[in-house]
Structure 1
Amino acid sequence: MAKFAAHLLYFLAAAIGRLPWPWLMRLGDGLAALWLRLDARESRVARRNLELAYPDLLPAERAQWHRQILRTTARQALETVRLWTRPHARNLRSIRHSHGTELFDAAIAAGNGVIVAAPHHGNWELLNQWLAQRTALAILYRPPESAIGEAFLNRVRAAHGDAADRVTQIRAEGPAVRQLFKRLGGGGVVGILPDQQPKAGDGEFAPFFGVEAFTMTLLGRLAQRTGATVLFAWCERVDTQADGPGFALHVEAAPADIAAADPRVAVAALNRCVERIARRDPAQYQWTYKRYTLRPPGSGERNPYKTG
């Protein structure tokens, strides 16, 4: 039943994705305006995150950034629907520039395994499609609560065409760690979104935009124990044309501390890298995510997203 419902949802998404890009931009702008007017969850979370991460902004500046973030987030949602429901080869033509791809090719050739750390900046779904065209990979993901939502994601994130069957999607659950170690031990490629808050017990606190954030230790453990190369990668929007947005693909080497034996050192290095990428264009980062829900034990701090 879930697969059938996901099938219907895919056709609806495909119909939306076929709309001309100027129409989708206007729909996105209208959605952002609605979030702002209703003070929807996206609006509240983005505003709170800006207060935490950029406390020195003047109120007028913060309000301007807030509106820009909501607009970019809404447009990206519709942009992603297009990417999910169009041929990947066509999508990849929207990458206007590439930087550092030789690092990725060299890491694969070395045969020691590759961990691609993909922050929630720009469009990470386009990055997934680029990676799948280059090599087989496993993507670690947090499954949605809905079985229909998970079936839909499994369909739209699958590779197409010549790259079919190259993408293995691994649920972020107990057995996942063993699968990732095995893949990296065999010289494979693993993609991880490094800025999702892990479950209690699976992370360490480290500063992120000057605020302590509970951060995954998994990436550092994988790198430290397997010797895999860690690369940061992201697809950043650089223009908007009549046929859609254009992107620049970036690949950068991670600092050595990312694989430090001390997990606190590793997560601090991880957060510094993600923060530097997000600061390139704050509007392209996912500020609608509750990054700071868990607070350091004994700090006396409360969940900053709770009111009352």
Structure 2
Amino acid sequence: MRQSACINTLIRRRDNASEPKITDSISPKEASPTLSRLGFLVALGFLRLTSVLPLRLLHWIGGGLGWLFAVIPNRSAATTRRNIAACFPALSSAEQESLARQSLKGMVCTGLEMGKAWILPIEGTLAQVTEVEGLAALQAAAKAGEGVILLAPHLGNWEIFGYFVCEGIASNFMYQPPKNPQMDALLRGVRAKSGIQLAPTNRKGVAILLGALQKGELVGVLPDQVPTDEGGVYADFFGESAFTMTLTSRLAQRGTPRVFCGFAQRLPKGKGFKVIVHEADAGIYDKDLGASAAAINRSVERCVRLAPEQYQWEYKRFRRQPDDSEFY
């Protein structure tokens, strides 16, 4: 599962720092590990602090920082506004701006919540979920050994969602290590506490996922990331053409796995999260990859419409266009 945008930004800024007073006296080979570790220590301190603060306080802070993201020109805000304008053309300009501001606040809240997902013992992480809807069908399929594919879009808090849904279920997720080795070690430890098995993002990893499904286990997929050239097809998403991964489609065509889509919705006033799970659109099983990809996007869109302000609209989902035009 991908780590939050806010934590990524923090690490990148520390890793890429070029302050002369720090680096003038040491070579680049020495500077990089030093700054990398410094960035990790700052991030770890941040995560530990936010892990013990009440959710309501974190969301209050997130609201203030999100407001700053909305009023100060920046790439995240520009991308958010562009995506919302394209995906919700029926909204007025004022309504689109309101949704964009809520989304930017949600973006910051997600980053502030990662301490709850990554630092707390697993019991503390699971306790963040206070309401559940639709999970029983997935659990029954897993118990029956049918093999389950879980689509977890970047909506609400996808880290807490994954840990909660996978509790007590043999689960496998693809994992691309971050460049920072200390952060990689932290995230591997986080996955280990929940029992989630990690598969590399290559052919070997795909083979691991196929084997897991054949054994009746759960396979988790982030369905709303732009894939590589050979790994996707164009399909409709909120009325726009989105380059969509075909991995899920190919996995669904092997055997008879059940496919579900869901998210952990952030509740107001710091009251935790509501885990919502739906059975995915049946079109996912279509042998035509384009039709299957469209069904994946419909499944994601159904979830997003339940809480559009909690979707990761700052991600450049439409950066690849069929005609190579510039969307952003």
TM range (shorter): 0.7 to 0.9
What is the 5 A alignment of 1:21-40? 21-40=55-74
Asked if the contact 2:156/2:266 (under 8 Å) is kept, the reply is yes
1:93-136 C-alpha deviation (Å, 9 max, x unpaired): 23222222221222113323111111212211111211342212
1:243-285 C-alpha deviation (Å, 9 max, x unpaired): x342222222223211211101100111111111101121011
**1:50 corresponds to which residue?**
84
CA distance in 1: counterparts of 2:57 and 2:152, whole angstroms: 29
* Pairing 1:287–2:316 present: no
What is the 5 A alignment of 1:129-144? 129-144=163-178
Asked if the contact 2:99/2:309 (under 8 Å) is kept, the reply is yes
Q: Secondary structure at the match of 1:158?
A: helix
CA distance in 2: counterparts of 1:43 and 1:36, whole angstroms: 6
Asked if the contact 1:141/1:170 (under 8 Å) is kept, the reply is yes
Structure 1 residues 99 and 20: alpha-carbon distance in aligned structure 2, compared to 1, 3 A threshold:
closer
Deviation at 1:198, TM superposition (A): 0.7
Structure 1 residues 233 and 61: alpha-carbon distance in aligned structure 2, compared to 1, 3 A threshold:
closer
**1:183 corresponds to which residue?**
212
CA distance in 1: counterparts of 2:131 and 2:211, whole angstroms: 33
**1:111 corresponds to which residue?**
145
What is the 5 A alignment of 1:46-195? 46-159=80-193, 163=194, 166-195=195-224
- Among residues 296, 302, 306, which one is paired with 2:325 in the alignment? 302
Instruction: Give percent identity, aligned residues only.
Output: 35
Count the aligned residue pairs. 294
Deviation at 1:22, TM superposition (A): 4.1
Asked if the contact 2:146/2:256 (under 8 Å) is kept, the reply is yes
Deviation at 1:4, TM superposition (A): 9.5
CA distance in 1: counterparts of 2:204 and 2:45, whole angstroms: 32
What is the 5 A alignment of 1:189-228? 189-228=218-257
TM-score (norm 2): 0.82
Amino acid at match of 2:272: G
Asked if the contact 1:7/1:152 (under 8 Å) is kept, the reply is no
**What's the C-alpha RMSD, in Å, of the aligned pairs?**
2.2
- Among residues 225, 230, 237, which one is paired with 2:259 in the alignment? 230
CA distance in 2: counterparts of 1:4 and 1:171, whole angstroms: 27
1:130-178 C-alpha deviation (Å, 9 max, x unpaired): 134221211123443544443343233432xxx5xx2112232232111
Asked if the contact 2:56/2:271 (under 8 Å) is kept, the reply is no
**2:274 corresponds to which residue?**
248
1:72-92 C-alpha deviation (Å, 9 max, x unpaired): 111121022222211221232
Structure 1 residues 20 and 112: alpha-carbon distance in aligned structure 2, compared to 1, 3 A threshold:
closer
CA distance in 2: counterparts of 1:5 and 1:31, whole angstroms: 21
CA distance in 2: counterparts of 1:119 and 1:148, whole angstroms: 26
